[in-house]
Amino acid sequence: MFEYLMPQLMMREPATTLLGQSGRIAIDHQIRYAGKHGLPWGISECGYSLLDGAQNYAYHAFGAPELSLRSNKGAEDWVITPYATFLALLWRPQAAFDNLKRLEKMGMLGRYGFFEAVDFTERRVEVGRTYSIVRSYMAHHHACH
């Protein structure tokens, strides 16, 4: 989502331009893609539920497979980040608001705002749980909203 929506934070593009169309298409695709799996939407680069030896979360560029230019599209990873939804507020405000409320109900809202991400990737989630919250805050992601 970051790559599709970030340019329009700096410059306004009419809905009929390539940037205007691609941003809306990316949002709509993510809503449909995650919806087919019963998950909230907002796939973008972010921290995910894997800690290194210093207890720092790993970071990776995630994306919806059909929107990715990479050959290894990582369709087996399901990591949702709230900042991607905040980026979409300008274009799909009601859908973004509804998604943020859903994330809040999942426990994603912490003391300093929304946590970095929620990881649904089965191999990284505790047995008996359906997701793992990435309990960190990244200033550059909060600055987007």
Q: Are 100 and 36 in contact (CB under 8 A)?
A: no
pTM: 0.89
Which residue has better confidence, 40 or 145? 40
Q: What are the sequence ranges of the domains in the chain?
A: 2-142
Taking 50 as the threshold, does the pLDDT of residue 72 lie above it? yes
pLDDT, mean over the chain: 89
Listed in sequence order, the residues at least 6 apart from 128 whose beta carbon sits closer than 8 Å to its beta carbon are: none
> How close are the terminal C-alpha atoms of the chain, in Å?
14
**Res 75: pLDDT:** 58
d(CA 117, CA 133) in angstroms, rounded, equals 6
pLDDT of residue 145: 43
Give the pLDDT score at 126.
94
Is residue 49 classed exposed, middle or buried when 0-12, 13-18 and 19+ CB atoms within 10 A define those classes? buried
The span from the CA of 116 to the CA of 110, in Å, is 10
